[in-house]
Chains A and B, each alone.
Chain A
Amino acid sequence: EPEVTQTPSHQVTQMGQEVILRCVPISNHLYFYWYRQILGQKVEFLVSFYNNEISEKSEIFDDQFSVERPDGSNFTLKIRSTKLEDSAMYFCASSELVTGKAYEQYFGPGTRLTVT
């Protein structure tokens, strides 16, 4: 069964460093998302991406964050200068369409980001 994959599974970085989290969405999906989950808290939406551009973003997704689809398979989240409060699980998700099945978002296993 197709699944979303994410690398690395765990990333440790020092405050102020740049990190890139990678995702390979399900191959026939057109919409891609990043969510994060701080330990013990809700899963929170960061950004959605369609047709090579951001379609929606949350207040969390400030200028320190960027997303890119550098090729036909990968979808990345970059944090330019990490802060301690960026420590969280970051989940990539994908879905087929906006209407109908778009609400069926399939999540990857996550990348645990630890900022020290």
Chain B
Amino acid sequence: TQLLEQSPQFLSIQEGENLTVYCNSSSVFSSLQWYRQEPGEGPVLLVTVVTGGEVKKLKRLTFQFGDARKDSSLHITAAQPGDTGLYLCAGARNTPLVFGKGTRLSVIA
């Protein structure tokens, strides 16, 4: 069974702070996706990382794929209230995505 463990489960920070959330597995993935999900809505794709060690930036969000392609991190710089939401990582070996439980981020103004 491929498991993706996300940490922390909950995170509450003040506006302007930096944060990092993690996605870890004992399995190797061909790629890893980060999604953001709002309550009652579908996951929205933020980024895909494919190569071990790859770093991708999306404005204030920095995503990194571990060298061994078993883990990933999402770093947010100068968090804003609009960043509040559930951040999901999902790994792929074939076509089915395996999702983590997510990190619920709350950014307080």
List the interface of chain A (C-beta within 8 A of B): 4, 31, 33, 35, 41-45, 48, 55-56, 58, 89, 91, 95, 98, 102-110, 112
Contacts and interface: CB of A to CB of B under 8 A. Distances in A.
A105 B46 CA distance: 11
Contact of A105 (B30, B97, B101, B102): B97
Contacts of A31: 95
Nearest to A48: B95
A110 B42 contact: yes
A55 B95 contact: yes
Contacts of B100: 42
B48 A45 contact: no
Interface string B64-102: 000000000000000000000000101010111111111
Contacts of A110: 40-42
Interface string B35-52: 100001111110010100
19 contacts: A4-B42, A31-B95, A33-B95, A42-B100, A42-B101, A43-B99, A44-B99, A45-B96, A48-B95, A55-B95, A98-B95, A102-B95, A103-B31, A103-B92, A107-B42, A107-B43, A108-B42, A110-B41, A110-B42
Interface of B: 30-31, 33, 35, 40-45, 48, 50, 88, 90, 92, 94-102
A43 B61 CA distance: 23
A104 B95 contact: no
A57 B78 CA distance: 41
A103 B98 contact: no
Nearest to B3: A42
Nearest to B43: A107
B95 A43 contact: no
